[in-house]
Amino acid sequence: MFDCLSCGACCVNSVHNLAEGYPWYVEVDDPESELLQRKDLCRRYVVEDPAGVPHMKLHADGRCTGLKGKLGRRVSCEIYRHRPQACKGVEPGDVNCMKARKERGIQTI
């Protein structure tokens, strides 16, 4: 069984995105989301790409600014209630989860 609270691999920009020089990861696609409506959350966690599309802000190492803790050990999401739809779409053990785990060297068995 896969436990998101002991992983966090999906909260890091993909190797493919980094190789392509794409520093934006998760699009914030709901303009009515509290994440975009609340100025404090928006300033802390959201950045716009050159086309003006809002995305989750990332640390220099590619981790989402909402992710706290140590990958593969114990993590939490500071904006879990307000996370973007794309974050809600990843399920423990699904294809995206397994790909992210593999990219980050986190056990997949």
Question: Which pLDDT score, from 0 to 100, does residue 20 have?
Answer: 84
pLDDT tens digit sequence for 65-81:
999 999 999 999 999 99
pLDDT tens digit sequence for 19-56:
887 878 899 988 888 899 999 999 999 999 999 999 99
- Side-chain-facing half-sphere of 24: CA atoms under 13 Å: 14
Q: What is the CA radius of gyration of the chain?
A: 14
Question: Which pLDDT score, from 0 to 100, does residue 29 have?
Answer: 86
Confidence of residue 107 (pLDDT cuts 50, 70, 90): confident
CB 42 within 8 A of CB 14: no
Question: Which pLDDT score, from 0 to 100, does residue 43 have?
Answer: 95
Kindly report the average pLDDT of the chain as a whole number: 90
Q: Measured between alpha carbons, how far is 97 from 74 in angstroms, rounded to an integer? A: 16
CB 8 within 8 A of CB 101: no
* HEC letters along 17-55: HHHCCCCCCCECCCCCCHHHHCHHHHHHHEEECCCCCEE
Is residue 109 over pLDDT 80?
no
pTM: 0.87
